[in-house]
Homo-oligomer: A and B are copies of this chain.
Amino acid sequence: MTRVRIDLNISLDGYASSANPTPENPMGEDWGRLVGAYTATRTFRRRVLGDTSGAGTTGVDDAYATGYFEGIGAEIMGAAMFGLHSFPDDPDWKGWWGDEPPFHAPVYVLTHTAPRPSMPMQGGTTFHFRSPAAIEEVLAEATAAAGGLDVRVGGGVGTARAFLLAGLVDDLHVSIAPILLDRGTRLWDDLRGLEITHQVRSEVAESGTIHVTFTR
């Protein structure tokens, strides 16, 4: 049975993206501090950076990083996460991840702009471009493509919130960096009562990161 999963990095004050993005620093000024515990893990280094040396942390953060990559059959992401907002005039833009993106599955990019042909990449990733007007339809297509595996809504926070507010998410895992940003986009607004529809579990990693998981 396919589950719809979200994993996000947020600050203690609930900001899930970082302010002041630029083309040179598309994730914004605080991104490195928000995701530092994740990018330090052995799993991230191996799966995303291709570092097979065994370097990286192996504790609680790495256990969540391993889970992040397991059992995903399709991914949905917003246009900004794919990079269309940073490079709107490049019809051949293929995302931030090089010729072999780390998804190894169909990725549905939600964009209001003109349709683009699908882009098959090395390693099993194919980018498809769909309208965000009907997220249920895109989710149905992604679920069919996932072949019984799970669908991840990868981000950014606006796309994640659209699925959360529509009640479509089975598993939400947030890695809370113990920092206060006071700027960016807040994850939690208008989500009162999520702990009633979902069960909550929390755990603190060696890095100080607080992992909170909502599951239904």
Contacts and interface: CB of A to CB of B under 8 A. Distances in A.
A183 B178 CA distance: 22
Contact of A192 (B182, B201, B208): B182
B190 A182 contact: yes
A210 B191 CA distance: 19
Interface residues of A, number: 25
Contacts of A210: 202, 204, 210, 212
Interface of A: 12-14, 178-183, 188-195, 200-204, 208, 210, 212
A191 B11 CA distance: 12
Contacts of A179: 195, 200
A189 to B, nearest CB: 7
A182 B178 contact: no
Contacts of A194: 180
Contacts of A183: 192
A12 B188 CA distance: 9
Contacts of A181: 192
A191 B202 contact: no
Given A12-B212, A182-B191, 5 more contacts: A181-B192, A182-B189, A183-B192, A202-B210, A204-B210
